[in-house]
A and B are shown apart, each in its own frame.
Chain A
Amino acid sequence: SAVISQKPSRDICQRGTSLTIQCQVDSQVTMMFWYRQQPGQSLTLIATANQGSEATYESGFVIDKFPISRPNLTFSTLTVSNMSPEDSSIYLCSVELGSSPYEQYFGPGTRLTVT
């Protein structure tokens, strides 16, 4: 398995501001994923982040709203820009370990509340 940390663990932000969420992994991984979980809902993939290339966004998510960086094989950031109350969610990063068949491990999540 992998040890994945996220910062911050939670935050309360005002509408119109931006928040950058960090995801750190204790081993080098090729694929990193960012998911959103709105209150009482399931997880929805925002984007896939590979090191050295632009992130690939899912339908309904755009780079201007959710810019992602992936500077190396152990780190990624997700920014939630120009926030509105609808962005209140848990944001989770996950990684795929090449040594395991398709297993994906998740970070502890960032619980965001926008007021």
Chain B
Amino acid sequence: AQKITQTQPGMFVQEKEAVTLDCTYDTSDQSYGLFWYKQPSSGEMIFLIYQGSYDEQNATEGRYSLNFQKARKSANLVISASQLGDSAMYFCAMREPGANNLFFGTGTRLTVIP
């Protein structure tokens, strides 16, 4: 089974509007970490935000926030006030205890429309 599922291959958002990128995960562990990365066309992976499974508050980093719903095993990324520079691929990832690497979803391509 897929550990990370991103069901939106592509999303469009109007500039200055907010957008939510969906991510669901599958794990039987109680302790895990969830990540979002941005990959522009240049190919680099830019770390955006992290949520620990025991964190009670939703993580926020500037215009990025993570809507963490543990019972539903979802970790959606919310980007507020979209900018043209936000156009990129966005990957959700998870790290489980005992595994040092990250498991990535298939990504969502976000396009911001002027």
Interface of A toward B, CB cutoff 8 Å:
1, 31, 33, 37, 41-45, 48, 58, 90, 92, 94, 96, 101-109, 111
Contacts and interface: CB of A to CB of B under 8 A. Distances in A.
B47 A111 contact: no
Contact of B95 (A42, A48, A102): A102
Nearest to A101: B52
Interface of B: 33, 35, 37, 42-47, 50, 52, 91, 95, 100-102, 104-107
Nearest to B101: A45
A96 B47 CA distance: 12
B47 A103 contact: yes
A109 B43 contact: yes
A103 B50 contact: yes
B98 to A, nearest CB: 12
B36 to A, nearest CB: 12
Contacts of A102: 33, 35, 50, 52, 95
A43 B101 CA distance: 11
A45 B96 CA distance: 14
Most B C-beta atoms less than 10 A away, residue of A31, A41, A104:
A104
Contact of A42 (B33, B52, B107): B107
26 contacts: A1-B47, A42-B91, A42-B105, A43-B91, A43-B104, A45-B102, A48-B101, A58-B101, A94-B45, A96-B100, A102-B50, A102-B95, A103-B47, A103-B50, A104-B35, A104-B95, A104-B102, A106-B37, A106-B44, A106-B45, A106-B46, A107-B44, A108-B42, A108-B44, A109-B43, A109-B44
A105 B48 CA distance: 10
A111 B102 CA distance: 21
A108 B84 CA distance: 21
Contact of B100 (A1, A31, A43): A31
Contact of A101 (B33, B45, B102): B33
